[in-house]
Amino acid sequence: MNNRHEKKELILVGVFSQPLGLKGEIKINIYTSSFESFKKIGKFFLEDDELEINFKALRNSGDKIYGFVKGYNDRSDVSKLKGKKIFAFRENFSKIKKNEYYAIDLIKCTVMDMKKTIIGVVYNVKNFGAGDLLEVIDRNKKISYIPIDNDNIVDIDINNKKIIINPI
């Protein structure tokens, strides 16, 4: 099997953080919506060599995720992973329902109001605790946040990378 993959097929799903203890466990900062959705992906790849990595175990402790990676047997081994990005194939993501979107699909969408006036471009999707927000940057580099809810979002057209809003 060829382990080289085109970057466009791979989606960033996490990054390795600090080793924990001496037995090779490491903290993982995930970019999926939940621990369960991260686990369901199954196949993961490292950023630099794009070789598949496998987890021997993953656990959720509060809002932190920890894992043991096959082939990394102690703190010294796993320390080499610190700061490395974790990618997954898009096709391994769980299927989503109609009117549900992955954050990665919303990024770079053009945001416009009901009169088709361009507000800006989605730079990121954030959640500060009260629900998901579109982080939109306008041409003057000003950032605004738009709640992703039925009151503010009129239409999301992923195919054409456009989001129509009617902000309150």
Q: Which of 36, 47, 37 is nearest to 12 (CA)?
A: 47
95-143 tens-digit pLDDT: 777 777 777 788 899 999 999 999 999 988 877 777 788 999 999 999 9
CB atoms within 10 A of CB 12: 12
Determine the 3-state secondary structure of 101 from DSSP: coil
According to the model, what pLDDT value does residue 77 have? 92
65 φ/ψ angles, rounded to the nearest 5 degrees: -115, 135
Tokens of 75: 């703190």
pTM: 0.65
Residues 79-94 pLDDT 10s? 999 999 998 887 777 7
Q: What is the mean pLDDT of residues 24-32?
A: 90
For the record, the structure tokens of 2 come out as 């060829």
